[in-house]
């Protein structure tokens, strides 16, 4: 864990290094991924079988090796304990309610020149959802990806999820049933992303691929952007907690560890104006780690990437937060709205002492797929819009063309695009 | 020009080839671009000077070689003829009016469980706009990129535009002045995109890069997606005209050529149910080409990529259009709205016989930066949203956490994320 003090000499340089610190994939991943993508593009299902046997120790031979039947997803759902089923249903209902409000409005109007203008939103035809297997097999991520797609009106939802050594995750299958997923393919990694983008004999191509994954998955999405739409390039998770001295250090320690336990490359940062709280949180992280079943991952993240920054005043916090542009920000202070108004770059902000970040991972309603690695400067969490696209439209009659056409002719001629001018002139007998 | 008949044997296969036809960059471009991006990342301004001298024959030595001063943009604007100035101003005003309606609404509400939820939109801090030089130096493109960014509220707009052999394009500079651009850098190609993304000593990095460009520019944007936001991966322009027999063949020919004159790799396609119109349009393309100053480019595009498809009935057209997912679609028929309702994938649709596509390039108001290469299946034209990002927020008090917290704990435990559960438990004394 790194401890910084904003009043110490060298703070600016140390903070700068922190902002520039990269915890993501390197060139080797890019080269490996490019080879896998090319192979799946050309050899299709044979390449998928090859990589799935090699990376997941799961041979794709029978139909059931390739794909989980819908009946099995329903069975997994039916087999849930009542508590867990109720929890999944509450999560789904709240996620749906929040995302339904994101549905965009169409426009269609005629302006003063008699020009009819508008835009129309439609869902994509098919979406592919990446759901990690192994360490990060999260039914909550399935809901967070599938429900916005369903709300958007996407007709075909294809999930890909690796099943290492052939093991399905029943919770993921149950969530797939609850969310109305159409296909569940037992593949993962860059090869699964390539299959969704280019299609194979078995798997029809999709239009958009969303969902979290490891460095190979993120790199495959980046490389295939343009062939398909993607939600974002996702990296390891992050939390920034901004806390005054009035907090329970145990609460803050638990919040920091909730990100740290995701991934050894995850990052948890605390900014506080209280030296004592800083010390107490550091101590409580140790106490919590001693009890935590995920301590191995969480400790690696905290040791390597954890940061505590003590500032002279919390007035310094928004400027630091805006440089970090973190995925999650908790504002554990008395007047979180006043500070939120000064924070420009963040994936999601958790206001007040009773809003721990994990509540947003499951049941609050907003999406938990959020920009990482300072990308909140320019990108947003997953939303219904990621599964839709907008077509603009224009309609003129002869009078409207006569009103605004001459200006277009002047600009077309000035740009040397004479056929552009001609298409208007010929309609106006000019 | 390729002519297809939907009633002929082999049509399905021929149309399939047309849909799969790629007119875009190949692997060599990707490798070259990767080298240039790496070089600019490491050597900064020195690399920019190297590539700009080599590719644009423009040595970057004095301050004026690097950057066009604001005063020069204003002078270019003041020197416009009254007609051209009025045309640019009409275009700017209409583009602004259309895009102002795209500004998204924030949300902030408290639901029945007492959970406060919402989302807040803010502009990115800085946007980089690519404006092509040489063949495609279009002031209209500058307006189409800069005005949505301004409407979004972006504080810093940096234009990059190559000036081959040192020649500035006065119209582009005039448009930069009109649109309120902050910086105009005389660089282009992949090196300019890399400079905007990574920053150099002279050029501060931006958060989003938009704007059209050649294959190198498009590939550089693709490779740098994730370091910065980008609008889309743009390829050669396209038009699909759907026309019945009641059209003036000269009008349709001009419309087809208006895309063909952009680029030898551009594509113009006509779908009609009238053999006679098909013949007449083919003839009129020849007649128009004989008069057209841009005939060399337009003829290359029409010869290599132009297509006329004769269908038995225009009822076949929407299904074909949805497979092509063209950038521009003209519906030169009596009831364009009825057909538009069946078209799912298109960048922009031009309704009726008096709406030639070029009116949308300049003065209609909607953006002319649109998805190409079948990407209208999943992406949209440039908009104000490309220059903004959304932060979600969540606020619970103790009662609300008590209401929905236990479901989150159940899901966290089921996912094996114990610190997630702990952050809620500790606040509820569970």
pLDDT at A25 over 70: no
How many residue pairs bridge chain A and chain B with CB atoms within 8 Å of each other? 370
Give the CA distances from residue A425 to residues A296, A409, A418, A429, B153, in Å, rounded to whole numbers and listed in that order.
Answer: 73, 7, 10, 6, 37
* Residues 62-101 in A contacting B (C-alpha not used; CB under 8 Å): 83-84, 86-88, 90-91, 94, 97-98, 101
Say if CB B184 and CB B73 are below 8 A apart.
yes
Give the pLDDT of residue B134: 65
Chain B residues near residue A261 by CB distance under 8 angstroms = 417-420
Is the domain spanning A27-103+123-230 CATH 3.65.10.10? The answer is: no
Give the 3-state secondary structure of residue B373.
Answer: coil
> What interface predicted TM-score (ipTM) does this complex get?
0.95
CA distance B290 to chain A (A): 12
* Phi and psi at residue A192, to the nearest 5°: -70, -40
| B23 confidence band (pLDDT: 50, 70, 90) | confident
User: Could you list the active site residues of A?
Assistant: 327-328
The answer to whether B101 is annotated as binding is no
Rg of chain A, C-alpha, whole Å: 25
- Superfamily the domain A2-24+235-364 falls into: Nitrogenase molybdenum iron protein domain (3.40.50.1980)
Phi, psi of B244 (to 5 degrees): -90, -175
CA B345 to each of CA A151, A393, B60, B157: distance values in angstroms, whole numbers, following the listed order:
19, 12, 44, 31
Q: Which CATH architecture has domain B27-106+122-230?
A: 3-Layer(aba) Sandwich (3.40)
Contacts of A357 in chain B (CB under 8 A): 423
Round to whole Å and give the CA distance between B393 and B26. 43
User: How far is the C-alpha of A233 from the C-alpha of A254, rounded, in Å?
Assistant: 27
pLDDT at B133: 80
β-partners of residue A183 are: A158
Q: Does B50 touch chain A (CB under 8 A)?
A: no
Question: What is the residue extent of each domain of chain B?
Answer: 2-24+235-364, 27-106+122-230, 396-425
Give the mean pLDDT of B131-142. 82
Does the beta-carbon distance from B359 to A394 stay under 8 Å?
yes
The pairing of strands A208-210 and A229-230 is parallel
Report the pLDDT value the prediction gives residue B335, as an integer from 0 to 100. Answer: 97
Residue in A327, A387, A94, A315 with CA at minimum distance from that of residue B389 = A327
User: pLDDT value at position B214?
Assistant: 85
**What tokens does A7 get?**
């009043």
- Asked if B323 reaches chain A (Cβ–Cβ under 8 Å), the answer is no
Instruction: Supply φ then ψ for residue A81, to 5 degrees.
Output: -65, 155
For chain A, give me the number of helices (H) and strands (E)? 18, 15
Percent of chain B's residues with pLDDT above 70: 98
- Alpha-carbon distance of B409 to B421, in angstroms, equals 5
CA atoms of B364 and B361, how far apart (whole Å)? 7
How near does any CA of chain B get to the CA of A11, in Å? 22
- State the Cα–Cα distance between residues A187 and A160, nearest whole angstrom: 6
The reply to whether B2-24+235-364 and B27-106+122-230 are identical in fold is: yes
Say whether A98 and B117 touch across the interface (CB within 8 A).
yes
Query: A94 contacts in B (CB within 8 Å)?
Result: 404
A195-242 pLDDT tens trace: 999 999 999 999 999 998 888 998 999 899 999 999 987 788 999 999
Chain B CB contacts of A90 under 8 Å are 404, 407
Average pLDDT score, chain A: 95
Residues 355-384 of A with CB under 8 A from B: 355-367, 370-371, 373, 375-381, 383
Strand order in the sheet with B238-243: A107-110, A116-123, A388-395, B348-351, B328-332, B238-243, B267-272, B307-310, B2-5
pLDDT tens string B156-179: 999 999 999 998 899 999 999 999
What is the DSSP secondary-structure string of B350-372?
A: EESTT--THHHHHTSSS-S----
Burial of B244 (0-12, 13-18, 19+ CB in 10 A): middle
Collect all residues of chain A within an 8 Å Cβ-Cβ radius of residue B359: 394, 396, 401, 404-405, 408, 424
pLDDT over 90 at B132, yes or no: no
- Residue B424 sits at the chain A interface (C-beta within 8 Å): yes
Mean pLDDT for B230-237 is: 86
Residue B27 is predicted with a pLDDT of 62
Strands B348-351 and A2-5: unpaired
The C-alpha angle with vertex A365 and arms to A360 and A369, in degrees rounded to 5, equals 60
């Amino acid at each position: 864990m790194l401890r910084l003090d904003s009043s110490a000499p060298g703070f600016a340089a140390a903070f700068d290094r922190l902002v520039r610190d990269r915890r993501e994939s390197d060139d080797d991943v890019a080269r490996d991924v490019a080879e896998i993508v090319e192979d799946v593009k050309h050899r299709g299902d044979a390449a998928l079988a090859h990589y799935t046997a090699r990376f997941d120790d799961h041979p794709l031979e029978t139909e059931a090796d390739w794909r989980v039947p819908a009946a099995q997803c329903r069975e997994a759902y039916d087999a849930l304990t009542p508590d867990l089923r109720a929890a999944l249903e509450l999560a789904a209902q709240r996620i749906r309610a929040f995302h339904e409000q994101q549905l965009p409005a169409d426009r269609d109007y005629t302006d003063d020149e008699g020009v009819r203008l508008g835009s129309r939103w439609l869902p994509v035809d098919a979406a592919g959802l990446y759901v990690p297997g192994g360490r990060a097999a999260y039914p909550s991520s399935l809901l967070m990806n599938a429900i916005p797609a369903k709300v958007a009106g996407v007709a075909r939802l294809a999930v890909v999820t690796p099943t290492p050594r052939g093991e399905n995750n029943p919770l993921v299958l149950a969530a797939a049933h609850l969310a109305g997923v159409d296909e569940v393919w037992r593949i993962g990694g860059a090869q699964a992303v390539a299959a969704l983008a280019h299609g194979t004999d078995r798997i029809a191509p999709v239009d958009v691929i969303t969902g979290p994954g490891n460095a190979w998955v993120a790199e495959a999405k980046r490389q295939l952007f343009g062939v398909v739409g993607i939600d974002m390039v996702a990296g390891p998770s992050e939390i920034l907690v901004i806390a005054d001295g009035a907090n329970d250090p145990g609460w803050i320690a638990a919040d920091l560890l909730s990100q740290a336990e995701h991934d050894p490359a995850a990052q948890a940062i605390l900014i506080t104006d209280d030296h004592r709280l800083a010390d107490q949180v550091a101590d409580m992280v140790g106490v919590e780690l001693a009890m935590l079943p995920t301590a191995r991952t969480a400790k690696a993240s905290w040791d390597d990437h954890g940061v505590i920054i003590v500032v002279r005043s919390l007035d310094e916090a928004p400027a630091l937060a805006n440089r970090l542009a973190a995925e999650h920000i908790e504002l554990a202070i008395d007047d979180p709205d006043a500070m939120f108004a000064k924070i420009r770059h963040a994936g999601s902000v958790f206001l007040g002492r009773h809003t721990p970040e994990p509540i947003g991972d499951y049941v609050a309603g907003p999406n938990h797929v959020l920009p990482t690695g300072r990308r909140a400067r320019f990108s947003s969490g997953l939303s219904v819009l990621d599964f839709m696209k907008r077509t603009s439209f224009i309609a003129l009659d002869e009078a409207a063309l006569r009103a605004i056409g001459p200006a277009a002719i002047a600009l077309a001629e000035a740009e040397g695009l004479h056929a552009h001018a001609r298409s208007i002139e010929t309609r106006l007998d000019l």
